[in-house]
């Protein structure tokens, strides 16, 4: 059973939506957020990145930052940049990125299901990030940015969503990155029907937002019994066959200062390497990597029998990269904490990997084949965890289109 509950969203009026909508907090830096929000008091970045309204250099985790976020959310409501719907609804949120289109159901997911693993996870949270999101949500008294959930698609939900999206949307705009955003508010009958259909879905899966969902559970535990609607958290739920996962690539610095020839020799001990042009850097199948070293791209092929094909975690390309390149060759034992490795979202392409190496900041780049949604399900269903930075979902959910207060 999956709970996807209607709620009374705080939303921007149509005339303000393009000014309010903003990138999610965790894909931009404080400096980028400050620049994007400059001259726009309606930007939701004032809520999701409230440090931009405090002096430069303010500690991101200072009490004043969380207090400012709550103050800014109240100011947006007072100014009419966000207004609460009179009745609870489910909503449909479509995103169009080039030829790719995905339509998700916006509603509230259950904290109890998250805690009991009815909502399955695939990532280990970091204590510092979980603490930050807990303080942020608690200070706001709201879930301001949705968790990205997925489920195995069902024909009945697909059919209802397809019919509902024939109606005229309440929002339909395109952001500067070229992504289209469209929102429908469902009536009572459609909301009730969708809620009922989700009750027959066996499980939901966290695609993106592990720290937000974990923080929601902590806030609920802390506030339990006060009557607030914090037994649920804000989510957008997409069918699995509409997911677009890009590669999450790696750049690594050689702490031993070895030359290109020495590193190539180590790589060839583990992998089959052939030089390729940049146009062929992105792998087109699993168990192959694009490797950039010394101004040259190589196609690296994983040797059969060099990994456990029956293990859903060990057989992931990102795990093989760690086990055969980052660990044994570069000494990266804990990629979550090792400062000699960094992660680059696939949206940035091979050129960004070249730039990070050519600048001298890093020694080698690895372009991975994207993790597949079936692999995410297999790992989650087994109760296991993926390595850090295994998936990069695109397009990202826009913030400020709907807020759940409690």
Q: What is the pLDDT of residues 117-176, one digit of tens each?
A: 999 999 989 899 999 999 999 999 999 999 999 999 999 999 999 999 999 999 999 999
pTM of the predicted structure, to 2 decimals: 0.92
β-pair partners for 365:
251, 292
Q: Specify the DSSP class assigned to residue 313.
A: T
At 336 the pLDDT is 87
At 75 the pLDDT is 98
Element (H, E) at 75: helix 63-78
Whole-angstrom distance, CA of residue 9 vs CA of residue 266: 55
How far apart, in Å, do the first and last CA atoms of the chain sit? Answer: 24
Domain 248-369 has CATH 3.30.1760: yes
Report pLDDT digits (tens) over 319-339. Answer: 999 999 999 999 999 998 899
CB environment 311-346: b (16+ within 10 A), e (fewer): ebbebbbbbbbbbbbbeebbebeebeebebbbebbb
At 126 the pLDDT is 87
Is residue 215 classed as helix, strand or coil in its secondary structure?
helix
Every domain of the chain and the residues it spans: 4-244+394-405, 248-369
Whole-angstrom distance, CA of residue 24 vs CA of residue 17: 15
Which segments in the chain show pLDDT lower than 50?
A: none
Q: What share of the chain is helix, strand, coil (3-state, %, to 5)?
A: 35, 25, 40
At 309 the pLDDT is 96
- Packed helices 188-198 and 155-164: angle between N→C axes, nearest 10 degrees: 160
């Amino acid at each position: 059973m999956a709970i996807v509950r209607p709620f009374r969203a705080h939303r921007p009026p149509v005339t303000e939506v393009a000014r309010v909508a903003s990138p999610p907090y965790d894909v931009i830096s404080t400096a980028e957020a400050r620049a994007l929000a400059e001259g726009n008091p309606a930007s939701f970045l004032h809520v999701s990145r409230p440090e931009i309204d405090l002096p430069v250099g303010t500690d991101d985790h200072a009490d004043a930052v969380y207090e400012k976020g709550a103050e800014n959310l109240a100011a947006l409501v007072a100014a009419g940049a966000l207004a609460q719907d009179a009745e609870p609804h489910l909503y449909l949120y479509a995103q169009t990125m080039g030829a790719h289109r995905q339509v998700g159901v916006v509603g509230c997911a259950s904290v109890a299901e998250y805690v009991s693993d009815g909502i399955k996870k695939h990532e280990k949270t970091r204590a510092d990030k979980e603490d930050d999101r807990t303080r942020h949500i608690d200070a706001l008294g709201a879930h301001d940015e949705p968790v990205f959930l997925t489920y195995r698609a069902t024909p009945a939900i697909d059919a209802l969503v397809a019919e509902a999206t024939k109606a005229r949307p309440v929002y339909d705009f395109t952001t500067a990155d070229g992504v289209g955003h469209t929102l429908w508010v469902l009536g009572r009958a459609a909301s009730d029907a969708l809620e009922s259909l989700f009750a027959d879905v066996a499980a939901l899966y966290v695609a993106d937002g592990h720290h937000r969902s974990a923080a929601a559970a902590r806030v609920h535990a802390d506030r339990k019994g006060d009557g607030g609607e914090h037994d649920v958290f804000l989510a957008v739920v997409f069918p699995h066959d509409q997911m677009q996962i890009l590669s999450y690539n790696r750049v690594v610095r050689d702490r031993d200062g070895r030359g290109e020839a020495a590193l190539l020799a180590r790589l060839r001990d583990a992998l089959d390497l052939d030089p390729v042009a940049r146009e062929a850097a992105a792998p087109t199948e699993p168990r192959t990597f694009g490797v950039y070293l010394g101004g040259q791209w190589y196609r690296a092929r994983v040797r059969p029998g060099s990994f456990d094909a029956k293990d859903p975690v060990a057989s992931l390309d990102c795990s093989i990269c760690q086990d055969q390149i980052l660990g044994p060759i570069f000494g990266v034992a804990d990629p979550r904490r090792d400062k000699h490795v960094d992660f680059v979202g696939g949206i940035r392409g091979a050129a960004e990997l070249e730039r990070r190496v050519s600048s001298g900041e890093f020694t080698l780049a690895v372009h991975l084949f994207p993790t597949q949604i079936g692999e995410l399900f297999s790992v989650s269903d087994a109760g296991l965890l993926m390595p850090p930075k295994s998936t990069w979902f695109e397009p990202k959910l826009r913030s400020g289109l709907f807020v759940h207060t409690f």
